[in-house]
Amino acid sequence: MSLTREQIAKRVAQELKDGYYVNLGIGIPTLVANYVPKGIEVMLQSENGLLGMGPYPTESQVDADMINAGKETVTAVSGASIFSSAESFAMIRGGHVDLTVLGAFEVDQNGDIASYMIPGKLVKGMGGAMDLVAGAQNIVVTMTHADKKGNSKLLEKCTLPLTGVNCIKRIVTDLAVLEVKDGAFYLLERAPGVSVEEIEQKTAGKLVIEGEIPEMTF
């Protein structure tokens, strides 16, 4: 069975390390805030000017003035800071974000990412994505392995306009965890109940499979 959005977020949360400053993109990445592992402290950054973002609020916690970059209401943890978006982007561009988690339309075997537009469709804008892929120390992409028509989103070469080049290191899809290196996707883990053969079938780019591939654990 393929992973749910929440399960993808849970697996991505395992990539967090104590002391990290982490930016979460819109969509599945924002769910990661709900699954920060116990025993570690991370500061979640939102590029609209919040450092120290907490989980989504309960109904009684909702504050309409406390929002993330996707205009969703959020909470703030103890020690959080609020500042201007200019200072926030200085933090990103200065390389002070340890990890960023982004969604994507396509990723290719060279680590290129296309995440902000599909030609012919309404585009709100680049947002902070281009700054994040250029400035973050490490980038994890969350996405479905294939589109609704079954076409692979893990390609030999991206077909959509690029957000960044040679910058993606790790991908967590609804089927697998993959590392991008040496011009290929290296299969590290598979979703529970998902076969290696299914992952091969739905990966258009070069896929390297070494040894027995374990199932993800949560």
| Contacting residues for 119 by C-beta, under 8 A, at least 6 apart | 160, 161
Catalytic residue among 47, 59, 197, 210: 47
Separation between Cα atoms, residue 192 and residue 25, nearest integer Å: 26
Task: Examine the residue annotation and report whether 47 is marked as an active-site residue of this protein.
Answer: yes
Separation between Cα atoms, residue 170 and residue 185, nearest integer Å: 9
Separation between Cα atoms, residue 14 and residue 12, nearest integer Å: 5
Separation between Cα atoms, residue 195 and residue 103, nearest integer Å: 24
The 3-class secondary structure across 155-168, one letter per residue, is ECCCCCCCCECCCC
Strand, coil or helix: 152: strand
Tokens of 38: 């116990």
The 3-class secondary structure across 17-74, one letter per residue, is CCCCEEEECCCHHHHHHHHCCCCCCCEEEECCCEEEECCCCCHHHCCCCCECCCCCEC
Q: Which residues are catalytic?
A: 47
